[in-house]
């Protein structure tokens, strides 16, 4: 069996091919080549150039884009939490708890009622106004709480779903690169 030298039409590398081989893939650039054996000379025809390299590049770009989206997503969520809820000095977000907020509202109502009653008994009508305002505020936050918590949970679910999609996408890019 005769070995012929042929140069790859994809990258110019010199390849050794035996005479009975018709199709090869270049070891250097992954181009698919058809080997043409003439009576005097053997040469290669390019069938598919650099396809795998191109796929790899697309995956890398996609992964970068997803990594950027992940950053933006996390930043936006942090911003939303900071704007909406109490945040500790160490950055921990106090997620709204229905019972906690309602408990606070109930305490506000009780304190407001105590102030009003004390004002009525003590004959200082001046304190009935702030007492009443406290009751009104606490009552409003009591009825608003469930809606706020529901909104928060909905937003969090959307955020986490998208975050998982982005992570899955990045994982897919990485595992495709490992295979190729």
Find the part of the chain contacting Zn ion (CB under 5 A) among 10-18, 128-136, 147-155, 163-171.
10-18
Extract the tokens encoding 172: 């897919």
Task: Check binding of 93 to Zn ion (CB under 5 A).
Answer: no
The reply on whether position 17 binds Zn ion by CB under 5 A is no
Applying CB under 5 A, the span of 21-29, 57-65, 92-100, 127-135 interacting with Zn ion comes to 21-29
Host H or E run for residue 143: helix 128-179
Q: Rounded to an integer, what distance in angstroms lies between the CA atom of residue 7 and that of residue 13?
A: 5
Listed residue (73, 95, 61) closest to 162, CA to CA? 73
Q: What is the size of the binding site for Zn ion (CB under 5 A)?
A: 8
If the CB atoms of residues 31 and 115 are measured against Zn ion, the closer one turns out to be: 31
- Assess contact for 81 and 91: CB atoms under 8 A: no
Q: Is 47 in the site for Zn ion (CB under 5 A)?
A: no
33 part of the interface to Zn ion, by CB under 5 A: no
Residue 98 and residue 143 in contact, taking contact as beta carbons nearer than 8 Å:
no
Which one, 33 or 105, has the nearer CB to Zn ion? Answer: 33
Name 5's Cβ contacts closer than 8 Å, sequence gap at least 6: 14, 15, 16, 17, 42
Residue from 10, 96, 108, 131 that binds Zn ion (CB under 5 A)?
Answer: 10
* Shorter beta-carbon distance to Zn ion: residue 50 or 148: 50
| Contacting positions for Zn ion (CB under 5 A) | 8, 10-11, 13, 26, 28-29, 31
């Amino acid at each position: 069996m005769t070995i012929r030298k042929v140069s790859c039409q994809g990258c110019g590398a010199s390849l050794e091919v035996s005479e009975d081989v018709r199709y090869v893939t270049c070891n250097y650039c992954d181009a698919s080549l058809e080997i043409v054996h003439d009576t005097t000379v053997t040469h290669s025809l390019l069938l598919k150039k650099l396809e795998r390299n191109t796929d790899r590049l697309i995956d890398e770009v996609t992964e970068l884009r997803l990594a950027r989206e992940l950053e933006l997503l996390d930043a936006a969520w942090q911003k939303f939490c900071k704007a909406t809820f109490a945040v500790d000095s160490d950055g921990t977000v106090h997620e709204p708890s229905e019972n906690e907020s309602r408990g606070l509202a109930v305490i506000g109502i009780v304190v407001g009622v105590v102030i009003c009653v004390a004002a009525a008994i003590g004959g200082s009508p001046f304190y009935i106004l702030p007492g009443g305002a406290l009751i009104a505020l606490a009552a409003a936050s009591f009825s608003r709480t469930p809606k706020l918590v529901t909104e928060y949970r909905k937003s969090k679910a959307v955020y986490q779903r998208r975050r998982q999609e982005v992570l899955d996408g990045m994982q897919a890019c990485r595992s495709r690169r490992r295979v190729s």
